[in-house]
Amino acid sequence: MATFLEMSGISKRFGGVHALRDVDLTLEVGEVHCLVGENGSGKSTLIKIISGVEAAEPGGRIAISGKEYPKLNPVYSTHCGIQVIYQDLSLFPNLTVAENIAMAHHLGGLHSVNWTSMRATAKATMAKIGVEFDPDAKVSELSIAGRQLVAICRALAADAKLLIMDEPTASLTRHEVNALIALVSELKRAGICVVFVSHRLDEVLEIAERVTVLRDGAKVGTFAADTIDGGKLSHLMTGKSFEYQIQAPELAAGPVVLEVKSLGREGEYEDVSLQLRAGEVVGLTGLLGSGRTELALSLFGMKPPDRGTIALDGRPIALRTNAEAIDRGIAYVSEDRLTLGLILNQSVTANVTLTVLDRLAGALGLIAARARQTHVARWVAELGIKVSNPANPVKTLSGGNQQRVVLAKWMATNPRVLILDSPTVGVDISAKDGIYEIIRRLAREGVAVLMISDEIPEVLYHSHRVLVMREGRLTTDVAAAAASEDALRQAVNA
Amino acid sequence: MSNVPALSLRRRMVGLAGSGTVATLILLLFALWVVFAITIGDRFFSVSTLQSMAFQMPELGILSLAMMLALLSGGLNLSIIATANLSGLTIAFLLTRYIPGSQGLAWVGIQVFAIAAGFAVAALVGLLNGFVIAYLGVSPILATLGTMTLCKGLAIGFSRGNVISGFPDPIVFIGNGTVFGVPFALIVLAFCALPVALMLNATPFGAKVYMIGSNEKATRYSGINTRAVLLKLYVFSSLLAGVAAVVMLARFNSANAAYGESYLLVTILAAVLGGIDPFGGFGKVGGLLLALIILQVISSAFNLLNLSQFLTLAIWGGILIAVAAVPHFAGKAPR
Amino acid sequence: MVILGLCASLGFANAQFLTMQNLFDLLTSYAFVGILALGLLVVLIAGGIDISFTATASVAQYVTLSLANAYGANWIGVFAIAIGIGGALGALNAIFIQKLRIPSIIVSVATLNIFYGLLIFFTGGKYIYSLPDWFATGIFWFEFEWGKDSSYGVNLQILALALTFLVTWLLLNRTNIGRQIYAMGGNTDAAQRLGFHIFGLNILVYCYMGVMAGIASLTQAQLAQSVAPTVLVGKELDVVAAVVLGGASLMGGVGTVFGTFLGLTLLAILQNGIILLGISSYWSPFFVGLVILISVSATAWSQRERRSQSASR
**pLDDT tens-digit series, residues B40-66:** 666 666 666 676 677 778 889 999 999
Q: What is the pTM of this model?
A: 0.81
Give the per-residue pLDDT at B200: 93
State the sign of the Cα–Cα–Cα–Cα dihedral A421, A425, A429, A435: negative
> Is the Cβ pair C176, A171 closer than 8 Å?
no
Give the per-residue pLDDT at A247: 58
Is pLDDT of B236 > 90? yes
* Pairwise pLDDT comparison (C17 vs A491), residue with the higher score: A491
Residues of C in contact with A335 (CB under 8 A): none
**Alpha-helix residue ranges (DSSP H) falling in chain B:** 9-17, 19-40, 47-72, 80-98, 104-130, 140-159, 169-176, 184-202, 204-214, 216-221, 226-252, 263-273, 285-304, 309-332
Nearest to B95 by CA among B174, B166, B157, B161: B166
Q: In whole numbers, what is the pLDDT of chain A averaged over residues?
A: 83
Number of Cβ within a 10 Å radius of residue A314: 9
Query: How far does Cα C113 stand from its chain's mean position?
Result: 19
Calculate what percentage of chain C has a pLDDT beyond 90: 14
Looking at CA atoms only, how far is residue C181 from chain A in angstroms?
Answer: 11
Nearest CB neighbour to A343, from listed B5, B202, B218: B218
B78: which DSSP letter? T
Is pLDDT of C146 > 70? no
CA dihedral A341, A346, A351, A352 (to 10 degrees): 140
Residues of C in contact with A87 (CB under 8 A): none
Is pLDDT of A479 > 80? yes
Is pLDDT of A382 > 80? yes
* Mean pLDDT score, C23-43: 87
Is pLDDT of A250 > 60? no
CA gap C45, C187 in Å, rounded: 11
Q: Let me know how long chain B is.
A: 335
Looking at CA atoms only, how far is residue C294 from chain B in angstroms?
Answer: 9
Number of domains in chain C: 1
> Is the Cβ pair C250, B139 closer than 8 Å?
yes
> Does A101 lie at the interface with C, CB-CB under 8 angstroms?
no
Q: Coil, helix or strand for B30?
A: helix
Q: Band the pLDDT of C6: cuts 50, 70, 90.
A: low
> Does A16 lie at the interface with B, CB-CB under 8 angstroms?
no
Most confident among A382-386, B125-129, C156-160 (mean pLDDT): B125-129
Of A286-295, C106-115, C168-177, where does mean pLDDT reach its minimum? A286-295
Q: Band the pLDDT of C137: cuts 50, 70, 90.
A: low
* Pairwise pLDDT comparison (A112 vs B86), residue with the higher score: B86
Which CATH entry fits the domain spanning A3-238: 3.40.190.80, 3.65.10.10, 3.40.640.10, 3.40.50.300? 3.40.50.300
* Mean pLDDT score, C17-33: 74
Q: Band the pLDDT of B20: cuts 50, 70, 90.
A: low
* Pairwise pLDDT comparison (C184 vs B313), residue with the higher score: C184
In A307-464, the DSSP E strands lie at 307-312, 315-317, 330-333, 417-421, 448-453
Query: Chains that contact A by 3+ CB pairs under 8 Å?
Result: B, C
Residues of B in contact with C287 (CB under 8 A): 153
Is pLDDT of A98 > 80? yes
Interface test with C, best of A97, A107, A335 (most C CBs within 10 A): A107
Is pLDDT of A243 > 70? no
> Does B48 lie at the interface with A, CB-CB under 8 angstroms?
no
Q: Amino acid identity, residue C184?
A: M
Contact B245, B118 (CB under 8 A): yes
* Interval A272-290: pLDDT, tens: 998 888 888 899 988 766 7
* Radius of gyration for chain C, computed over Cα atoms and rounded to the nearest angstrom: 20
Is pLDDT of B184 > 60? yes
β-pair partners for A317:
A310
Nearest to C103 by CA among C93, C113, C88: C93
Give this complex's ipTM.
Answer: 0.80
Is pLDDT of A5 > 70? yes
> Is the Cβ pair C101, B279 closer than 8 Å?
no
Looking at CA atoms only, how far is residue A294 from chain C in angstroms?
Answer: 8
Is pLDDT of C298 > 70? yes
Contact A473, A271 (CB under 8 A): yes
Nearest CB neighbour to C176, from listed A75, A89, A109: A109
Residues of B in contact with C100 (CB under 8 A): 321, 324-325, 328
CA gap C248, C259 in Å, rounded: 8
Q: Is residue B335 part of a domain?
A: no
* Interval C208-259: pLDDT, tens: 999 999 999 888 888 887 788 877 877 787 888 888 888 777 777 888 888 8
| Separation in Å, CA C221 to CA A110, B86, B265, C208, C225 | 34, 33, 26, 20, 5
CA gap C216, C222 in Å, rounded: 10
Task: Judge residue A318's burial from the number of C-beta atoms within 10 Å of its C-beta, 0-12 exposed, 13-18 middle, 19 or more buried.
Answer: exposed
Q: Band the pLDDT of B116: cuts 50, 70, 90.
A: very high
Is pLDDT of C113 > 90? no
Nearest CB neighbour to C283, from listed B146, B153, B320: B153
* Pairwise pLDDT comparison (B12 vs C88), residue with the higher score: C88
Is pLDDT of B6 > 50? no
> Is the Cβ pair C117, B156 closer than 8 Å?
no
Is pLDDT of B319 > 90? no
Interface test with A, best of B196, B199, B222, B277 (most A CBs within 10 A): B222
Is pLDDT of A365 > 70? yes
Looking at CA atoms only, how far is residue C100 from chain B in angstroms?
Answer: 6
> Does A481 lie at the interface with B, CB-CB under 8 angstroms?
no
Q: Are strands A3-14 and A17-28 parallel, antiparallel or unpaired?
A: antiparallel
> Is the Cβ pair C313, A109 closer than 8 Å?
no
Q: Coil, helix or strand for A307?
A: strand
Is pLDDT of C287 > 70? yes
Residues of A in contact with C197 (CB under 8 A): none
* Interval C34-93: pLDDT, tens: 999 999 999 999 988 888 999 999 999 888 888 887 877 777 888 888 899 999 999 999
* Pairwise pLDDT comparison (B73 vs B14), residue with the higher score: B73
Most confident among A254-258, B35-39, C127-131 (mean pLDDT): A254-258
* Mean pLDDT score, C157-186: 86
β-pair partners for A18:
A13
> Does B10 lie at the interface with A, CB-CB under 8 angstroms?
no
> Is the Cβ pair B310, C296 closer than 8 Å?
no
Range of the domain at C120: 2-307
> Is the Cβ pair A110, C177 closer than 8 Å?
yes
Residues of A in contact with C185 (CB under 8 A): 94
Of A37-51, B22-36, B239-253, C161-175, where does mean pLDDT reach its minimum? B22-36
Give the per-residue pLDDT at C2: 52
Of A143-157, A325-339, B21-35, C41-55, where does mean pLDDT reach its minimum? B21-35
Contact C86, C65 (CB under 8 A): no
Q: Is residue C20 part of a domain?
A: yes
Q: Band the pLDDT of B257: cuts 50, 70, 90.
A: confident
Minimal Cα distance from C189: which residue of A?
Answer: A90
* Sheet with A61-64, side-by-side order of all strands: A17-28, A3-14, A61-64, A67-68
Q: In whole numbers, what is the pLDDT of chain B averaged over residues?
A: 82
* Mean pLDDT score, B109-127: 92
Calculate what percentage of chain A has a pLDDT beyond 70: 93
Is pLDDT of B118 > 90? yes
- CATH code at C293? 1.10.3470
Residues of C in contact with B145 (CB under 8 A): 237, 240-241, 244, 292
C296: left (phi over 0), alpha (psi -120 to 50) or beta: alpha
Residues of A in contact with C178 (CB under 8 A): 113
Range of the domain at B63: 52-302+309-322
* Pairwise pLDDT comparison (B126 vs C107), residue with the higher score: B126
CA gap B264, B283 in Å, rounded: 19
* Pairwise pLDDT comparison (A57 vs A349), residue with the higher score: A349
> Is the Cβ pair B7, A369 closer than 8 Å?
yes
Is pLDDT of A299 > 60? yes
Q: In which residue ranges of chain A is CATH 3.40.50.300 found?
A: 3-238, 256-493
> Is the Cβ pair B153, C288 closer than 8 Å?
yes
* Interval A72-90: pLDDT, tens: 877 778 888 888 888 778 8
Nearest CB neighbour to C244, from listed B137, B142, B308: B142
* Mean pLDDT score, A287-315: 86
Nearest CB neighbour to B325, from listed C100, C282, C301: C100
Number of domains in chain B: 1
- The fold of the A256-493 domain, in CATH, is Rossmann fold (3.40.50)
222-261 in chain B: CB under 8 A from chain C: 261
Minimal Cα distance from B18: which residue of A?
Answer: A391
Q: Is residue B62 part of a domain?
A: yes
Contact B39, B305 (CB under 8 A): yes
Is pLDDT of A348 > 70? yes
CA gap A339, B211 in Å, rounded: 12
CA gap A397, A121 in Å, rounded: 45
> Does B198 lie at the interface with C, CB-CB under 8 angstroms?
no
- CATH code at B61? 1.10.3470
* Mean pLDDT score, A416-427: 87
Q: Is residue C282 part of a domain?
A: yes
Residues of C in contact with B325 (CB under 8 A): 96, 100-102
* Pairwise pLDDT comparison (A213 vs B324), residue with the higher score: A213
Buried b / exposed e over B8-35, threshold 16 CB at 10 Å, is eeeeeebbbbbeebbebbeebeeeeeee
Q: Band the pLDDT of B79: cuts 50, 70, 90.
A: very high
Q: In whole numbers, what is the pLDDT of chain C averaged over residues?
A: 79
Looking at CA atoms only, how far is residue B67 from chain C in angstroms?
Answer: 14
Is pLDDT of B13 > 70? no
> Does B268 lie at the interface with C, CB-CB under 8 angstroms?
yes
* Mean pLDDT score, B172-179: 81
HSE toward the beta carbon, residue A46, CA cutoff 13 A = 36
> Is the Cβ pair A107, C175 closer than 8 Å?
no
* Pairwise pLDDT comparison (A426 vs A479), residue with the higher score: A479
Give the per-residue pLDDT at A77: 82
Give the per-residue pLDDT at C56: 92
CA dihedral A174, A180, A184, A187 (to 10 degrees): 160
* Mean pLDDT score, A65-72: 80
CA gap B100, B116 in Å, rounded: 19
Q: Is residue C313 part of a domain?
A: no
Q: Band the pLDDT of B1: cuts 50, 70, 90.
A: very low
Is pLDDT of C303 > 90? no
Of A386-400, B45-59, B64-78, B269-283, where does mean pLDDT reach its minimum? B45-59
Minimal Cα distance from B324: which residue of C?
Answer: C102
Of A143-157, A338-352, A406-420, C132-146, where does mean pLDDT reach its minimum? C132-146
Nearest CB neighbour to A368, from listed B3, B207, B223: B3
